[in-house]
Structure 1
Amino acid sequence: MRLAKIVLAGAAALTISSSAALISSAALAQQPLTGVVTEVDRINRMVAIQPTQGGTVGANTAGAAEEFKVPAGLSLDTVHAGDKVTYSVSETGGTRTITKLQQQ
């Protein structure tokens, strides 16, 4: 009986620590990203953003621009190619969607 209680307590502790790791990784995924808008397609509600490289290693090399769907709740009227932006992205069913878009 005592051994069973010890095993159950250990399993509960392991479950709690794994849940905390999942929550912290989800929080990291929601951190804002930065980049430069390369294209705005207002008709199809798409925006292409070239992500900003972090750090100093490879800072002069730019990555390829990524295209994102923009939901109807976000305005594209003030965003133009060449603007530096901060943005957040979510992905559902293979479609990457901007959840937050703000000029710097």
Structure 2
Amino acid sequence: MKIARILSAGIAALAIAGSAAVAQQALTGTITGINRINDTVAIKQTQSGTVGANTGGAAEEFKVQKGQSLEDLHAGDKVSFSVTQTDGTRTITKLQKQ
């Protein structure tokens, strides 16, 4: 019983660490909208690969972490960004114009 509990805790810790690493993966996209009042930005992510690369997906809206400035960004700008997800809210932790 003790061994099973230790194994379960280890597996849970690895799953959390793995998901945090994926969440911090650098993404790229094009800004489609900015709401400076609510500190949100809509970004259409760049598709990876070649099949359907021109079709792209719909733009997603992200909350921007406090301290990140949106003043120098405009719709149409290409950006790289990192996102974390907490309680169902996707928040940009790093946003940089390319």
1:16-55 paired onto structure 2 within 5 Å: 18=11, 19-20=13-14, 23-55=17-49
Per-residue displacement from partner, 1:16-72 (whole Å, max 9, x unpaired)? x84556534432321101000000111111100000000101101110000011122
Q: 1:92/1:61 Cα in 2 relative to 1: closer, same or farther (>3 Å)? A: same
Q: Which has the higher helix share?
A: 1
Structure 2: state its 5+ residue gaps.
none
Q: TM-score, normalised by structure 2?
A: 0.81
Task: State the aligned residue count.
Answer: 97
Structure of greater Rg: 1
1:1-104 paired onto structure 2 within 5 Å: 18=11, 19-20=13-14, 23-104=17-98
Structure 1: state its 5+ residue gaps.
1-7
Distance across 1 between alignment mates of 2:26 and 2:48 = 13
Distance across 1 between alignment mates of 2:19 and 2:92 = 19
| Larger relative contact order, structure 1 or 2 (CA cutoff 8 Å, min sep 6) | 2
Q: 1:21/1:45 Cα in 2 relative to 1: closer, same or farther (>3 Å)? A: closer
Distance across 2 between alignment mates of 1:72 and 1:21 = 28
